[in-house]
Amino acid sequence: MSITRQQVLDAIKRGRAERLREGMEYVRFRENHGKIMRGTVVTRDRVILGYEHIPRIFTLEKGLGRNIPGGEVCIEEKIDGFNLRVAKVEGAIFAFSRGGYIDAFSTEKARGLGLEGFFADYPERILCGEMIGNTPYTSPTPKFDVKLFVFDIDDGTGNYLPCEERYAMLKKYGIESVPQLGKYATSDIKKIRNLALSLNKANKEGMVIKTLDRKAAVKFVTPNADIEDIGRCSPVMFDMPLGFYVQRVFRSGMFLREFGLDRREYARRLGEAFYSGLLRGIGMVGDGGGAEEEFEILIKDPRTWDTIHRHMSKEVKLEVISDRDEKGGKRIRFSKTYRKTTKKMHDALTGKSVTD
């Protein structure tokens, strides 16, 4: 898809795009503009199209029948991480967030993942993936630093490589793929149902089902992952959109009905997850702190932290808990305090009344 200079200027004029200078000069589309997707990036020498949202289905059998053509499909594990597009621009590797920002942290990490060979041979292609681990956006882990799981390769024009071609290419260049769960016939719904149940039992987020040519795809998530999300985010509930909770409760209920899972057990777990998280948040504020989460990152360039702090401080309060030099850079542990939740909980705890 080509984008003209006039389209860019028109989008900027309408407030749908903005010029930025971070690492390089570029234009970020803040929202959709005609057929141009939000998150699209325009630089001096190329266009990086926004990543399309993969449709979600709420019932496995009927959802597949309505959205995926009959035949074979590739099924991959859905990874719950930070959505990125990694591309070579003006001779350097950059990582872009879903919204189209150059992400300083992810760019630093992507440049250390050995992607040079891939981009030397295919400079026009874009790696689409999820980054997990010790990032400013995901729960920290002692098991590894960060991992980038690639789930699509854009050929540079907005078309994604067929699944088998992508798998072979990632293997050739030593790039980590999202876990491949196998090829299935859409008619063999029993096997696909069993796969969904096994993912739920293993507390995996879910699956992404793609046609072999990657022309169509849907995602299907598990109730265990939904309940875990609710428990993790209820301590900062007022800083989350209402739809975050409504969607997870609804789709987990759909899964329970379709698969005949124990409703009483899941009702107990859902309530426990929500109230445990909520009371943890209230407890933090009641003890004189704020509703917060902790994160940990390892960075090489001090300017990366400066950029993280500058961007995130617009929405949350950041506070460094510890930082130390170690082999490979500086390890920083920090907290994010969510202002809206902290204020509402503090007001309630100190007796403020509210007229409903």
Domains of the chain, start order: 53-77+183-221 (3.30.1490.70), 224-286 (1.20.58.2250), 292-337 (3.30.70)
Which pLDDT band holds residue 23 (cuts at 50, 70, 90)? confident
153 contacts 125 by C-beta, under 8 angstroms: yes
205 contacts 56 by C-beta, under 8 angstroms: no
Q: What is the mean pLDDT of residues 36-56?
A: 95
143 contacts 169 by C-beta, under 8 angstroms: no
Gap between the Cα atoms of 244 and 285, Å rounded = 22
Q: What is the pLDDT of residues 56-69, one digit of tens each?
A: 999 999 999 999 99
Residues counted in the chain: 356
Q: Strand pairing partners for 28?
A: 18, 41
Gap between the Cα atoms of 144 and 131, Å rounded = 12
Sheet bearing 146-154, strands edge to edge: 92-97, 82-89, 126-133, 146-154
Q: Would you state the torsion angle of the CA atoms of residues 30, 133, 182, 186, taken in this order, to the nearest 10 degrees? A: -40
Is the C-alpha dihedral spanning 337, 339, 340, 342 positive or negative? positive
Q: What is the mean pLDDT of residues 321-349?
A: 95
CA 331 to chain centre: 23
Specify the residue for token string 């930082």. 323
What is residue 142's predicted lDDT score, i.e. its pLDDT?
Answer: 94
Gap between the Cα atoms of 144 and 133, Å rounded = 7
Three-state SS at 243: helix
pLDDT of 259 over the 90 cut = yes
DSSP state letter for 176? P
Three-state SS at 124: coil
Mean pLDDT rounded to a whole number for the chain: 96
What is residue 333's predicted lDDT score, i.e. its pLDDT?
Answer: 97
pLDDT over 90 for what percent of the chain? 96
108 contacts 115 by C-beta, under 8 angstroms: no
Neighbours of 306 (CB within 10 A): 11
What is residue 351's predicted lDDT score, i.e. its pLDDT?
Answer: 97
Nearest to 57 by CA among 65, 49, 46: 65
Q: Strand pairing partners for 148?
A: 131
What is residue 327's predicted lDDT score, i.e. its pLDDT?
Answer: 86
pLDDT of 34 over the 80 cut = yes
Gap between the Cα atoms of 333 and 146, Å rounded = 15
Q: Strand pairing partners for 276?
A: none
What is residue 346's predicted lDDT score, i.e. its pLDDT?
Answer: 97
> Would you give the end-to-end CA distance of the chain in angstroms?
50
Gap between the Cα atoms of 119 and 126, Å rounded = 9
Would you report the helix, strand and coil content of the chain in percent, each value rounded to 5? 40, 30, 35
pLDDT of 1 over the 80 cut = no
